[in-house]
Structure 1
Amino acid sequence: MDILGSILNSMDKPPTISDKQRALMRKQREALEKREEEEKEKLRVFRNTVEDKIANLMKDDSLKKHEFEPMEKVFRGIIHDVAEVAGLVAFSIGMDGDDRRVIVYKIEFQPCEEELAALRRGEEWDPDKAKQLALQKEQEELESKTTKDFVPSCDYKEKYERLIGKESAKDAARSVLTNKQYGYVPNANKKDIRSIEQTLADLQSRKRMKLSQANAEGGNSSSQP
């Protein structure tokens, strides 16, 4: 006898399966297949129900949305799929678990981000209250921008000191920081309160002064050798 034969003879034979065990295994397999078929049929019936509700939503012009009751994830997935096929939008809201549900909207009535966020938090959506909050937020942002401390981009005191002297530079820099914007001129300073006669007189006076200076400079230059 060869070595392989001796090894095979020395090994234990595999356990045999009795007819009773085979019948039990077959029964278990059939029960599993039956449960799977029942589950498939349950999902098929549920999908048909969802399709009917979605169809009614699309046909009724008075309806904007349809809210389904809370359900398990597998059923919510079917609702999302049916809504997408129908060209609608669906959102899951509520906490995970018993309160998680789906709301299907017509495209033209889909919620804004604020409304959707409120629904997901489990809060009631109030459009009027939302508008008031939006206006309040906008007003606060506007006030924040106008009251924000001004930070100059350069040292205005040093800048003016080189041009008009140290003491005058202090006043100029203080005026710039007080007005909060470089180059700001009050409206009152923009108005010329002089009369027409005063304005013409000032112009003529400046013109005569320039002519006098020009004549003086010309006389000085001609007297030099």
Structure 2
Amino acid sequence: MAADKKALIFILLSLNISSLWALDYGFKVNMGISSGAGQEWNQMLDDSGNRDFADVLGTFGMGVFAEMNVSPVNIFAPELYYIFNRGVHLSNSRDEFIKISSIHSLELILPIAREFPFSGGDKAIRLMGGFQILYSFNIVETSRINDMEDRIEQKNETPLSLGLVLGTGLEFKRMEKRSYIGDFRIKLPFTDSLSYSAADGSPRSLKTVELLLGGGIKF
């Protein structure tokens, strides 16, 4: 009986290891813009006294992904990123600005993608949608107002946030050992991603929305 159990365990381990070899995996980078969303963001614009004060913040991420077929046309493709500069930016024509961002964040995306092959199967259009889990570290607020510059670092009171990711893209050279992926995606917030104390001591919470272009290599 013990030998049978050992044989069963060996078979299960072998199947798990072989399934890992069947996984597709790769490396991706993305870059784009991050801005505010929601009631608190609108209140900040009202407090600035000028809607032209709104601006966007450049953001960049790099990470890894894996792909597992869940049907002939649907793919589960989790992604893990290290993100730089996710937050909000306000500026005006007098070179005055306020930037509120988490300089370093970890991001997990859990999407389902659907492929539509064409050109003999060597290329495919891909549509995807899924959930975003973002963990943002300390908040950095930098500003230049009336020729005075300031930098404040403080704890993010809501480091863990959730969102929805929607995107589309192309995969090239699908029939070869190494293929290439390019995509465009939008990330919409469910919860606050930045919470901190304003200069007057009042609590402030912000949601962020992102537009990103990405590219990667699948091995």
Q: TM-score, normalised by structure 2?
A: 0.22
Whose radius of gyration is greater, 1 or 2?
Answer: 1
Higher helix share: 1
TM (normalized to structure 1)? 0.22
Structure with the larger strand share:
2
Higher RCO (Cα < 8 Å, 6 or more apart): 2
